[in-house]
A and B are shown apart, each in its own frame.
Chain A
Amino acid sequence: MIKFNPKLLLLAAIVLAVSFGGRMAGLAVNPTQQITLAVFAGVISTTLFFWERRVAAAFIGVAILIACHAMTLHTILKATELDIIFFLVGMMIIVGVLKDLGFLTWVIQTIINRRKMNGVSFSLILCVLSAMLASVVDEVSSIVVVLALVFQVCDTLKLRPHPFVLMAVMATNIGSSATMLGNPVGIFIGNKAGFTFAQFLVGATPVAFAALMVTLVLTVIWFRKDIRAMTLAMARHRKMGLGPALKIPYKTGLFILLATVCTIAFHHQIEHALALGGVENHNAFLIMTPLIVAGILMIWRPHRARHYVEKDVEWWTLLFFMLLFAIAGSLNAAGINGEPSITRNLADTLTEHVKGGATAMIPFVLVISSLGSAFVDNIVFVAAFTPVIQNLVAQSETYSILWWALLFGACFGGNITVVGSTANIVASGLLEKHGHEPIKFFDWIKIGAVVGLVTGIVAWILLLVIPRSPAETDRETPAPAIVEPAAELEIPAISPYEQK
Chain B
Amino acid sequence: MKPEDLHLTNFFSAEDIVPHCGEMSRDEVIRRLVPNDETYKAVIAREELGSTVIRDGLAVPHARVATLSQPKVTIATSERGIVWPGESSAVHIVFLLLIPQNQPALYLQILRALGTALKDDQVLRTVAAMTNSGDIYRFFESGKAYLPRYITAADIMSREFLFLHDTDTLQVCVDTIIKNGVSEIAVLDRDNDLRGIVRAGELLRLCLPEYLLWMDDLSPIANFEPFAEVLANERKTWLREIMVDDFPVVKPDAPAIQVAGEMTRYRSPCCYVREGNKLVGLIRISNFLNKIFRE
Contact = CB atoms under 8 A, between A and B. Distances in A.
Interface string B209-244: 111101111001100011011000000000000000
B27 to A, nearest CB: 57
Interface in A60-115: 99-102, 104-105, 108-109
A149 B211 contact: yes
A246 B221 contact: yes
B225 A152 contact: no
Given A102-B217, A304-B216, A148 B211 contact: yes
Given A246-B225, A248-B220, 15 more contacts: A101-B216, A102-B214, A105-B211, A108-B211, A145-B211, A149-B211, A151-B210, A152-B209, A152-B211, A244-B225, A244-B226, A245-B225, A246-B212, A246-B221, A304-B216
Contacts of A145: 211
Contact of A102 (B209, B210, B215, B225): B215
Contacts of A240: 229
Interface residues of A, number: 22
Contacts of B212: 105, 246
Q: Determine chain A's interface SS by DSSP, over half rule.
A: helix
Nearest to B217: A102
A109 B212 CA distance: 9
B226 A102 contact: no
Contacts, number: 47
Interface of A: 99-102, 104-105, 108-109, 145, 148-149, 151-152, 240, 243-249, 304
Contacts of A243: 209, 226, 229
A105 B208 CA distance: 12
A244 B215 contact: no
For A105, A148, A243, the residue with the greatest tally of chain B CB atoms inside 10 Å of its CB is: A105
Given A148-B209, A244-B221, A248-B220, A100 B214 contact: yes
Contacts of A248: 215, 220
A109 B221 CA distance: 12
A249 B211 CA distance: 14
A220 to B, nearest CB: 25
A104 B212 CA distance: 9
A100 B215 contact: yes
A289 to B, nearest CB: 24
Contacts of B229: 240, 243-244
Contacts of B214: 99-100, 102, 104-105
Contacts of B217: 102
B215 A101 contact: yes
A149 B225 CA distance: 18
B220 A102 contact: yes
Contacts of B226: 243-244, 246
B216 A246 contact: no
Contact of A148 (B210, B215, B220): B210
B198 to A, nearest CB: 14
B81 to A, nearest CB: 58
Nearest to B223: A246
A101 B220 CA distance: 11
Most buried by A among B210, B211, B217: B211
Nearest to B215: A102
A240 B226 CA distance: 12
Contacts of B221: 244, 246
A109 B214 CA distance: 12
B216 A249 contact: no
Closest 3 CB pairs of A and B: A244-B226, A148-B211, A99-B214
Contacts of A149: 211
A240 B225 CA distance: 13
Nearest to A155: B209
Max chain B C-beta neighbours (<10 A), residue from A148, A244, A249: A244
A102 B221 CA distance: 11
Interface centre among A148, A149, A240 (most CB of B within 10 A): A148
Interface string B239-251: 0000000000000
